[in-house]
Amino acid sequence: MSANIPECPPSLKSIQHYLKTAAEHDTRDPIVAYWCRLHALQTGLKITTKKTPEETKVLMAIMDWLEEAKTTYKDNDAISNEVVAQAHLENYALRLFLYADKQDHEQNYGKNIVKAFYTAGIIYDVLTTFGELTDEAAQNRKYAKWKAAYIHNCLKNGETPVPGPMQSEEGGTESEGNPGDMGSSDAANTPPSIGFPPVDPTPPPSVPTSFNNSLPDPNAALRAASQLPPVPYTPDPNPGGFVPYDPSQQPQPTPTPMVYSDSVAQLTPDQISKAQKYCKWASSALNYDDVKTAIGNLKNALELLQTGRDPA
């Protein structure tokens, strides 16, 4: 389902990145495309209170596409349900991030790694549609945007990027500074800041125009990323210390009360919402053949529903 959205006027340049990422995912992942355009619309509506005809034309075109998409994908939970959508985007952004981070540590530098870091950062932006990012997601977003700009500028200037976080001269990790310094000729020796060049007037890193042809499957890369940081929501091998049921030791077992019974404490709305998230994360993990993570999330959901205790 392609979109016919006019070119953004200068006042809406800040949403162009999301629209471009959406266009790259129209056939690859319609869920990502949908939420990127929704985020672009929400951002564009906040820019000015009085819209010019050019701005209105772009925003109306996005609205029309979103309405059509909701009809087309009405049976897709990741379009109609924000909990499922959030889990889908979190998994997708993380897999791109881990793929790019692995390539960085292996010093396999090229447009693919820039594209992966850059797109991961954009999707982390889109995740703010659902609320404030977790500390880990916020750090991944900051790092991904910095790495995309830093590696891009190194390759542009014929310099060799330094893998991993930059270290300051005092030996600590450099995390603040002026993003504009990343374009200087001594970028390989001066620790660049964790940031991203401003959208206007400085353009973003130049990345391949074809997402399908330039970006390897992050799922395949993840399977090989055994030395990278663990994926969020990886459960404890034995959450809650469950003991297998042994009939020989329990000749007259007492039925465990269901969480919906009036005889047990009622779950709070937050607990119910968290249990739903565990189930959705498990479903999303199965989309990527990650059975271990799916089982762990289902166990977490079961313990929360049975005991009211969140094992995370």
pLDDT per position as a tens digit, 27-66: 999 999 999 999 999 999 998 778 889 999 999 999 999 9
pLDDT-derived band at 197, boundaries 50, 70, 90: very low
d(CA 265, CA 145): 45
Task: Please answer whether residues 49 and 55 qualify as being in contact, where contact means their C-beta atoms are separated by less than 8 angstroms.
Answer: no
d(CA 208, CA 112): 8
How high is the pLDDT of residue 48?
72
Please state the φ and ψ torsions of residue 173, each to the nearest 5 degrees: -75, 125
Is the pLDDT at 136 greater than 90? The verdict is: yes
Q: What angle do CA 236, 238, 243 make, to 5 degrees?
A: 160
How high is the pLDDT of residue 114?
95
Task: Please answer whether residues 104 and 131 qualify as being in contact, where contact means their C-beta atoms are separated by less than 8 angstroms.
Answer: no
d(CA 246, CA 5): 62
How high is the pLDDT of residue 167?
63
d(CA 140, CA 284): 20
Is the pLDDT at 8 greater than 80? The verdict is: yes
Is the pLDDT at 305 greater than 50? The verdict is: yes
How high is the pLDDT of residue 195?
35
How high is the pLDDT of residue 152?
95
- Averaged over 125-142, what is the pLDDT? 96
Residue type at 219 in one-letter notation: N
pLDDT-derived band at 229, boundaries 50, 70, 90: very low
Residues 6+ apart with CB under 8 A from 228: 98, 101, 102, 105
pLDDT-derived band at 15, boundaries 50, 70, 90: very high
Chain segment 273-304, per-residue pLDDT in tens: 788 887 877 776 676 666 777 788 788 778 77
d(CA 99, CA 81): 27
* DSSP per-residue string spanning 196-224: ---SSSSPPPP--S-HHHHS--HHHHHHH
Task: Please answer whether residues 85 and 93 qualify as being in contact, where contact means their C-beta atoms are separated by less than 8 angstroms.
Answer: no
How high is the pLDDT of residue 289?
65
Percent of the chain with pLDDT over 90: 47
103 sits in the region (left: phi over 0; alpha: psi -120 to 50; else beta) called alpha
User: How large is the greatest C-alpha to C-alpha distance in the chain, in angstroms?
Assistant: 77
Is the pLDDT at 236 greater than 70? The verdict is: no
Output 106 or 312, whichever has higher pLDDT: 106
190 sits in the region (left: phi over 0; alpha: psi -120 to 50; else beta) called beta
Strands (E) located in 131-210? none
Q: Which helix (H) or strand (E) holds 278?
A: helix 269-287
Is the pLDDT at 112 greater than 50? The verdict is: yes
Among 86-90, 147-151, 248-252, 297-301, the least confident range: 248-252
Among 25-29, 60-64, 226-230, 303-307, the least confident range: 226-230
3-class SS of residue 51: coil
d(CA 121, CA 147): 10
Q: What angle do CA 11, 15, 16 make, to 5 degrees?
A: 95
Percent of the chain with pLDDT over 70: 65
Output 252 or 5, whichever has higher pLDDT: 5
Task: Please answer whether residues 84 and 78 qualify as being in contact, where contact means their C-beta atoms are separated by less than 8 angstroms.
Answer: yes
How high is the pLDDT of residue 206?
40
- Averaged over 158-162, what is the pLDDT? 93
How high is the pLDDT of residue 302?
81
Chain segment 59-82, per-residue pLDDT in tens: 999 999 999 999 999 999 999 999
DSSP state of 177: S
Is the pLDDT at 219 greater than 60? The verdict is: no
Q: What angle do CA 183, 184, 190 make, to 5 degrees?
A: 105
Handedness of CA 221, 225, 226, 232 (dihedral sign): negative
Handedness of CA 108, 109, 113, 117 (dihedral sign): positive
Output 270 or 71, whichever has higher pLDDT: 71
3-class SS of residue 152: helix
Chain segment 82-98, per-residue pLDDT in tens: 999 999 999 999 999 99
Among 243, 245, 236, 244, which residue's Cα sits nearest to residue 295?
A: 236
Mean predicted lDDT score pLDDT of the chain: 74
Please report how many Cα atoms fall inside a 13 Å half-sphere around the Cα of residue 293, on the Cβ side: 19
